[in-house]
Amino acid sequence: MTDFARNKKALHDFNVEETYEAGIALTGPEVKSVRGGRANLKESYVRVRDGEAFLIGSHISPYANARHAEQLPTRDRKLLLHRKEIDRLTGKSQEDGKTLIPLKFYSKNGMIKLQLAVASRKKEYDKRREIAKKTVNREIERAMKERLRR
């Protein structure tokens, strides 16, 4: 599995509760752009409407060598999920404080997939606590490494 794009900010801002794998309906030039790493998931989200799931707000840069008319880089893209998964996502997203966020584009068996998550927003104090923990762990690792050198 190769990761083409990650939504790092999502892991910082949200607590991930469940993850799902979805196919995504892309045009040929969009596939080339994603494989080239020219996709951005920042500030994007997933919305279910009329019984279908859509990726909204993601940016896939136009492929330079495409021969036909350009498409909008931020157009809504349909996600390919089973009916039961869509129903479950609809129920989860309607719970209080829950949202559907994309985590990454990746390749599986030659197909481009999107990992999406049901998540709830972190509080500001949780973010600060997490940053403090990372800093302490980094200092401990540095001290252990220094101690082993002696």
What residue has token string 């923990």?
Answer: 133
Question: Domain locations in the chain?
Answer: 2-122
Which pLDDT score is estimated for 63?
Answer: 84
Q: Which CATH superfamily is domain 2-122 in?
A: Small protein B (2.40.280.10)
Q: Kindly state the greatest CA–CA separation across the chain.
A: 65
Contact 112, 77 (CB under 8 A): no
Which pLDDT score is estimated for 41?
Answer: 93
The region that residue 130 occupies, defined by phi over 0 for left and psi between -120 and 50 for alpha, beta otherwise, is: alpha
- The two structure tokens encoding residue 84: 């039961």
Which pLDDT score is estimated for 11?
Answer: 85
Which pLDDT score is estimated for 6?
Answer: 92
Which pLDDT score is estimated for 64?
Answer: 81
Contact 26, 36 (CB under 8 A): no
DSSP-assigned letter for residue 122: P
pLDDT per residue rounded down to tens, the chain (150 residues): 788 999 988 888 898 999 999 999 998 888 999 999 899 999 899 999 998 999 999 999 888 887 776 678 889 999 999 999 999 999 988 888 899 999 999 999 989 999 999 998 888 888 899 899 999 999 999 999 888 887
Which pLDDT score is estimated for 55?
Answer: 94
Which pLDDT score is estimated for 124?
Answer: 86
